[in-house]
Amino acid sequence: MAIMITIVLIVFLALICVIEKTASHPMIILLGEWSIIFFLCTFSVYDYDISSKAYMIIFLGILSCIGGYFFSKNDLNFNVKCNEKINVKCNEKNIFSNTKLYLIFCIEIIMLIILMSYYENVKSLLDSGIAYGEIRYSYLKDVIGQNPVYNIIFSYLVRPFGIMMMPLSVYLLVKDRRKVVKLVFLIELVNVLLVTVVMGERMYLFYYAFFMITTYLCVRKSEGKNSSKRFKKIALLAIILFACVFVFISKSRISSGVSNKNENELVEKIQDTAYLYFSGCVSHLSQKVENFDADKSVDKYTYGVTSFQGVMRPLHQVWELVDQNASNRNSLFNKADDRKNEIESAILLGGHRFNGYISMFYYFYVDLNFIGVVIISFLISVWINWRYSYFLANKSSYSLIRYLLAVSTFAFSFFQFMLSNLDVPMAFVYCWLIFLSTNKIKVKLTEG
């Protein structure tokens, strides 16, 4: 079945490549990624029992995304709106005043101080004899701190603001020659490396790599050869740093789970990890679907709350302060919270450990079965393709950052649904705040 799906996806990928002619298009990112995943599944390296239902959930979700693409492409009202010219031409120095850039720099410094304190906690745990590989899974509360305020700061500021700054810092470095821009880029790069080391989270490096590459693909034609050279220099620096950190974390985490730590066993474990990083989400989903279907309770579906918990969580936490009944364990939100924890919990299959890599389509499935997969996949695809169309229409830095945040949902669809966590929804909020003054100017000029 994996071979058939791979062939179908490659056909659609070739068709959309011919239509769009750019690697930065959201559907090319989605179809390219899943073509590779299903191609890897055809090898059956670990002989996992992947159910036909698991294949069907993912395939149906991808087909719905393709349907959303063609719908958005034929939505004449939206395309006309996108093609309306905005009567404002601002360079980045007008959009990002020195005051705004220094404010961003101060926030980055605050994040750096917080992350350094987390690093000190990690260092003290290592000095006490705890293996680095165990810290991520058993001692994260000791790293971040027991005080709930620390957790709020990390969840609502450090991660989402850092994710929003990933593409923005790279974009500004190429566009703007001011020294403060270089400082912002440098501090953001250090913060990304610190989050990775502190949390033992290799995926954070993939976020940065994705945003860097996609930013380059989106603006390379308009920025000229000099900017292209700067992008390549930045990318080379980041790749060297990230490769070193990635190898260190991988080796530390893997070696702590290897019994005698001999070289052959360690190499085999690294190969397993590399393979399972992408194709493993399908077998993981298959097992979780089987467990979910075994639950015969009538109220097991969460009707979109699991998928969009990251969007709803800030509002729900405010509502809890107003209404104490909102924290009732039987509420739909708390049921979705439990469901999300279950989704992202680690399982063992054939002696191999699977963590949160389960694909975004399983979130839609637990919300409303196959209907949820079809409807939510379609709507998400329409939204992301609209964001891309809007970026093409005006080429502003604001529309670029919003598109990059949106398309990360497709780029990391093999991992989880990005809107189920706070990172991307709050990154959109910070993006809106950063560009708030620019938006007001545009509104006034277009109204006039």
Residues 6+ apart with CB under 8 A from 246: 196, 202, 205
Residue 194: name the closest of 107, 113, 104, 287 by CA: 113
Cβ–Cβ < 8 Å for 92, 177: no
Residue 273's pLDDT is what?
A: 65
Residue 309: name the closest of 193, 414, 417 by CA: 417
Q: pLDDT tens digits for the chain (448 residues)?
A: 889 999 999 999 999 999 998 888 999 999 999 999 999 888 876 667 788 999 999 999 999 999 999 999 887 566 656 555 444 445 555 678 888 899 999 999 999 999 998 888 888 888 888 877 777 766 677 777 767 788 888 889 999 999 999 999 988 887 778 889 989 999 999 999 899 888 878 888 889 989 988 888 887 766 655 566 767 777 777 778 777 777 777 666 665 555 455 555 555 555 566 667 777 888 889 989 999 999 888 789 999 999 999 999 888 888 877 776 666 666 788 888 888 888 888 777 766 777 778 999 999 999 999 999 999 999 999 999 999 998 988 888 899 999 999 999 999 999 899 999 999 999 999 999 998 865 554 544 444 4
d(CA 64, CA 70): 10
Cβ–Cβ < 8 Å for 425, 191: no
Residue 76's pLDDT is what?
A: 54
Residue 105's pLDDT is what?
A: 94
Work out the angle between the directed axes of helices 397-411 and 360-394 (0-180°, nearest 10).
160
Cβ–Cβ < 8 Å for 333, 312: yes
Q: How many CB atoms lie within 10 A of CB 87?
A: 10
DSSP letter string, 346-411: -EEETTEEE-S---HHHHHHHHHHHHHHHHHHHHHHHHHHHHHHHHHHH--HHHHHHHHHHHHHHH
Burial class (CB in 10 A: 0-12, 13-18, 19+), 85: exposed
Residue 1's pLDDT is what?
A: 82
d(CA 199, CA 342): 20
Torsion of the alpha carbons at 422, 215, 362 and 314, rounded to the nearest 10: 10
Residue 421: name the closest of 204, 105, 250 by CA: 204
Backbone angles phi, psi at 352, to 5 degrees: -110, 140
Backbone angles phi, psi at 203, to 5 degrees: -60, -30
Determine the 3-state secondary structure of 348 from DSSP: strand
Cβ–Cβ < 8 Å for 148, 178: no
